[in-house]
Amino acid sequence: MRSAAAFAALLAALPAFAAAQELAAPRPLSVVEEPVLRLGDVFENAGPRAAQAIGAAPAPGRRLVLDAAQLSALARAHNLPWRPLSAHERAVVERPGRSVPREEIDGALRADLSRLGLDPDAELDLGPLLPPVVPPAAIAHVSAENTAFDAASGRFSSTLVVLAEGTPAVRMRLAGRAVPTQPAAVATRRIGIGEVVGPADVRLVRLRAERVRPGTAQSLDQVVGQQLRRPVTADMPFAAADLHAPAMVEKNAPVLLVLEAPGLSLSAQGRALEAAPRGAVVPVMNLASRSVVEGQVIGPGRVRVLAGSTPTLSSVR
């Protein structure tokens, strides 16, 4: 009778045990925010032990993969009623992170290199760089220490230090080169041939010196208000040779010829034989006499006859 009663009690306990077995299961994927990994991050329905710390969480931006053997060992160590059904079972734990912006790394290096003679306009070439990763909401404090700089070659080395709440301090050794730069005026949009460049069409940037060709416009004053001899695309530097003052007289357009002398002012209608900007000398045909004279462009559609030219001006005004 005693054996029968014990057997009956065992049979009654089996459904509860089976239910417990079904409740505990590895999480295929979990995302953790804290630096501590807990049992509930790895197993679903871990019961009252869910908040128990079992180790360190992955570093920000990294993942931890636990295979069946590791999961089984964890379950045994924490009295969790779970056994793997196959050797392929696993749990993946991820911890989100954000990369420290390149601008912050650059700023920290410049702050330390400037005291060693770095040109403030130099570009810092660090080559392929895998930035440190910190928790998404953490404020990163970035600094540089043990910095060395050779002004002659531009070579430098430094230790980047990143401090952020929720993650150990990161120290990364960096090496690179300070590259000289030069200013360059570049287009902000595609500009066609013959267009006059406006203030919104150009911006001033700094480019590596080896990329700045001789004759590149290096100030806004060289470009704004000038007319293009050939088109440029967005972010393309302007070449000074491709710019000229906009024409105030168009080829074959009517112009007013003006002859001025002490006590004398004559004018006549003419036709410009070439396009020319203000101040340029242009040949003009007098429409009345059909003679060709040279004059200086003094305004839109106005040409002043140069001394030594002998036009026949048919209109006196």
pLDDT, one tens digit per residue, over 210-247 is 999 999 999 999 999 999 999 999 999 999 999 988 88
Domain positions in the chain? 2-94, 99-179, 182-244, 247-305
**% residues pLDDT > 70 (the chain):** 89
Q: What is the pLDDT of residues 260-317, one digit of tens each?
A: 877 778 888 999 998 888 888 999 999 988 999 999 998 888 999 886 665 555 444 4
pLDDT computed for residue 85 by the predictor: 87
DSSP-derived letter for residue 43 is E
Stronger pLDDT, 263 or 170, i.e. the higher one? 170
Least confident of 98-107, 110-119, 256-265, 287-296: 256-265
CA–CA dist 251, 262 (Å, integer): 31
**What is the third-level CATH fold of 182-244?**
Type Iii Antifreeze Protein Isoform Hplc 12 (3.90.1210)
Q: Cβ contacts of residue 59 below 8 Å, gap of 6+?
A: 95, 97, 133, 167
Q: Is residue 17 pLDDT above 50, yes or no?
A: no
CA–CA dist 255, 271 (Å, integer): 6
Nearest to 60 by CA among 96, 100, 30, 33: 96
Q: What is the pLDDT of residues 139-157, one digit of tens each?
A: 999 999 999 999 999 999 9
What's this model's pTM, rounded to 2 decimal places? 0.63
Top CATH class of 247-305 equals: mainly beta
